[in-house]
Structure 1
Amino acid sequence: MELSSKSKLLVVDDSAFMRKLISDFFVGNPKVEVVGTARNGKDAIKKIQSLKPDVVTMDVEMPELNGLDALKEIMTVSPVPVIMLSSTTLQGAENALKAMENGAVDFVAKPSGTISLDLHRIKEELVHKVEHAAHVSVTKLKKASFAPVSVSKSSLLNENRQLIKNSLTQVTQTVSKELTKRKDWNQLTKKIVLIGTSTGGPRALQEVIAKLPSRIKAPILIVQHMPAGFTKSLSDRLNQLSQIKVKEAQHGDLLQNGVAYIAPGGHHLKLEKRGASYEIVLDQTEPPRAGHRPSVDVMFESASKIKDMDKVAVIMTGMGSDGSKGLMQLKENGNVMAIAESEKTCIVYGMPKAAVETQLVNEIVDVDNIAEAIMKYLP
Structure 2
Amino acid sequence: MILFCEECGTRHDIDENLIKVGDYKFSCSVCHEMLCVTLNNRQYMKNAQAALHDDGDARSGGAPAPDRIVKVLVVDDSRMIRKVLRGIIESSGKNKVIGEAENGKMALDMIAAERPDVITLDINMPVMDGLTTLKHIMISHPIPTVMISALTKEGATETFDSLKYGAIDFLPKPSQVKGADLNIQREEILRKIGLVSGVQVESIRYLRRPAKDNAKESDVQLPCQCVVVLGVAEGGYGALLNVIPRLKADIPAAYVAIMHQAPHHVDGFVRYLDQCSQLAVGRASDGLVMKGGNCYLSADCERFQVTKADGQIRLQLAPSAGASEGGAIDHMMRSAATVMQEDAAGVILTGTGVDGIDGLGAIMGNGGTVFVQDPRSCLFKETPVRAIDTYHVSNLISDKQMAGAINAFLMAQNKSIKEMCV
* TM, length-normalised to structure 2: 0.59
Specify which structure has the bigger relative contact order, considering alpha-carbon pairs within 8 angstroms and separated by 6 or more residues.
2
- Aligned to 1:104, which of 143, 167, 181? 167
C-alpha separation in 2, matches of 1:72 and 1:46: 14
Q: Does 1:131 align with 2:194?
A: yes
**Amino acid paired to 2:296:** Y
Where do residues 1-379 of structure 1 align in structure 2 (5 Å cutoff)?
Answer: 5-29=68-92, 31-75=94-138, 78-87=141-150, 93-108=156-171, 117=180, 123-138=186-201, 140=202, 143=205, 147=209, 151=211, 153-154=213-214, 192-197=227-232, 198=236, 199-207=238-246, 210-216=247-253, 219-224=254-259, 231-232=266-267, 234-240=269-275, 242=277, 244-247=279-282, 249=283, 252=286, 254-258=288-292, 259-263=294-298, 268-271=301-304, 277-280=314-317, 298-303=327-332, 306=335, 309-310=339-340, 311-316=344-349, 318=350, 320-322=351-353, 324-329=354-359, 331=361, 335=366, 337-341=368-372, 343=374, 346=377, 350=381, 351-359=383-391, 361=393, 364=396, 367=402, 368-374=404-410
Report the aligned-residue RMSD.
4.8
Percent of residue pairs identical: 24
C-alpha separation in 1, matches of 2:110 and 2:319: 45
- Structure-2 change in CA distance of 1:192 and 1:361 (3 Å): farther
Are 2:70 and 2:95, in contact at CA under 8 Å, matched by a contact in 1? yes
**Amino acid paired to 2:288:** L
Are 1:340 and 1:352, in contact at CA under 8 Å, matched by a contact in 2? no
**Amino acid paired to 1:107:** F
C-alpha separation in 2, matches of 1:373 and 1:79: 28
**Amino acid paired to 2:304:** L
Q: Secondary structure at the match of 2:121?
A: strand
**Amino acid paired to 1:328:** D
C-alpha separation in 1, matches of 2:121 and 2:275: 28
Q: Secondary structure at the match of 2:358?
A: helix
Quote the offset at 1:121 in angstroms. 5.1
* TM, length-normalised to structure 1: 0.64
**Amino acid paired to 1:270:** R
Q: Secondary structure at the match of 1:254?
A: coil
Quote the offset at 1:358 in angstroms. 0.9
Match of 1:167 in 2: none
Quote the offset at 1:202 in angstroms. 1.2
- Structure-2 change in CA distance of 1:257 and 1:280 (3 Å): farther
C-alpha separation in 2, matches of 1:126 and 1:356: 29
Are 2:104 and 2:130, in contact at CA under 8 Å, matched by a contact in 1? yes
C-alpha separation in 2, matches of 1:60 and 1:72: 12
C-alpha separation in 2, matches of 1:113 and 1:278: 44
C-alpha separation in 1, matches of 2:203 and 2:214: 27
- Structure-2 change in CA distance of 1:240 and 1:26 (3 Å): closer
- Describe the superposition over 1:271-300 as per-residue Cα deviations: whole angstroms up to 9, x where unpaired: 1689965435899xx99xxxxxxxxx7322
Are 2:153 and 2:159, in contact at CA under 8 Å, matched by a contact in 1? no
Quote the offset at 1:195 in angstroms. 0.5
- Structure-2 change in CA distance of 1:110 and 1:229 (3 Å): farther
C-alpha separation in 2, matches of 1:113 and 1:204: 36
- Give unmatched runs, 5+ long, in structure 1: 158-188, 288-296
- Structure-2 change in CA distance of 1:338 and 1:89 (3 Å): same
Q: Secondary structure at the match of 2:230?
A: strand
**Amino acid paired to 2:213:** K
